[in-house]
Amino acid sequence: MKFYDAHNHLQDDRFAGGQSELLAACEKVGIARMVVNGTRESDWPVVRALARENKIVLPSFGCHPWYLAKRTPDWLKNLEKFLDEIPSAVGEIGLDRWKPDLPYAGQEDAFLAQLRIAAERNLSVSIHCLQAWGRMLELLQKNLRPARGFVLHSFGGPVAMIPAFAQLGAYFSFPGYFLHERKLRQREAFRHVPADRLLIETDAPDQLLPTEKILQPLAGAGGQPLNHPANLPAVYAGLAEFFGEKTESLALRVEENFQRVFKLH
């Protein structure tokens, strides 16, 4: 069985330079590819280096709403430079009205500027959205989108909006965090995702699985628990169990979807 991680942050500082061991563990459990999402200009070179050294890594470059304040004046030119240099995707970008004290002003402009670049180049784009689903749908309806589609990572939006997003080309990515008992609403929503639009992710080092499902425990330098990207097979197994299907059949579906939306030229 081959596994595909639609969204993680392997470049994250919390992994403290342990990327080679993490990747070795991922390959050992059958992870074929992972989309490693940059979140700010300062981590794009790290993502690029990881991709150059490891075929498993599909690089993605974007400015995440949490880090917009750190942008340089040349950030968009810089983004295009990275996209020109290496076959890649755009992300993580998005809208966030959930994070306390994070200004919303300016988020839409930054999101749309990056969405436009993804649409012009027909690159897949990974979208973060927290408490802004109505506005996200409106913006996607009114603006150019990549013809190949786009990914709503850790989709936690309303079930009722799934068909409208799907019509625009959305893929819906399921994180291991939704395997927690209390995340039943989010899990249930995935029963309504079209079969050809389902993806699976770890979002490592974030979005830890329930303790009993963790395959690869990992702690950061300060002892804080981190999500190891090699926990991906447990996310597949947990979702397959929830759907009442075999992990093998789920994995085949997700493989086709991943290849379709992330295919690099």
Task: List the one residue out of 44, 45, 10 whose CA is nearest residue 25.
Answer: 10
Question: Least distance to Zn ion from the beta carbon of 70, Å?
Answer: 16
With beta carbons less than 8 A apart as the criterion, state whether 65 and 96 touch. yes
With beta carbons less than 8 A apart as the criterion, state whether 128 and 93 touch. yes
Question: Least distance to Zn ion from the beta carbon of 128, Å?
Answer: 6
Cβ proximity to Zn ion, 48 vs 153, nearer residue: 153
What CA–CA distance (Å, rounded) separates 17 from 46?
11
Cβ proximity to Zn ion, 96 vs 234, nearer residue: 96
Reading the block at residue 200, the tokens are: 């699976």
Helix (H) or strand (E) holding 207: none
Question: Least distance to Zn ion from the beta carbon of 64, Å?
Answer: 7
Give the count of residues interacting with Zn ion (CB under 5 A): 1
Question: Site residues for Zn ion, window 74-113 (CB under 5 A)?
Answer: 92
Question: Least distance to Zn ion from the beta carbon of 161, Å?
Answer: 20
Tokens 């599909």 sit at which residue? 58
Residue 223, number of CB atoms within 10 A of its CB: 6
What CA–CA distance (Å, rounded) separates 185 from 167?
22
Cβ proximity to Zn ion, 5 vs 92, nearer residue: 92
Cβ proximity to Zn ion, 67 vs 104, nearer residue: 67
Question: Least distance to Zn ion from the beta carbon of 220, Å?
Answer: 17
With beta carbons less than 8 A apart as the criterion, state whether 10 and 57 touch. yes
Question: Least distance to Zn ion from the beta carbon of 133, Å?
Answer: 17
Cβ proximity to Zn ion, 41 vs 92, nearer residue: 92
DSSP assignment of 196-229 equals: GGEEEE--TTSSPPPGGG-SS--B-TTS-B---G
Residue 86, number of CB atoms within 10 A of its CB: 14
Cβ proximity to Zn ion, 9 vs 252, nearer residue: 9
Question: Site residues for Zn ion, window 171-210 (CB under 5 A)?
Answer: none
DSSP at 215: S
Binding interface with Zn ion (CB under 5 A): 92
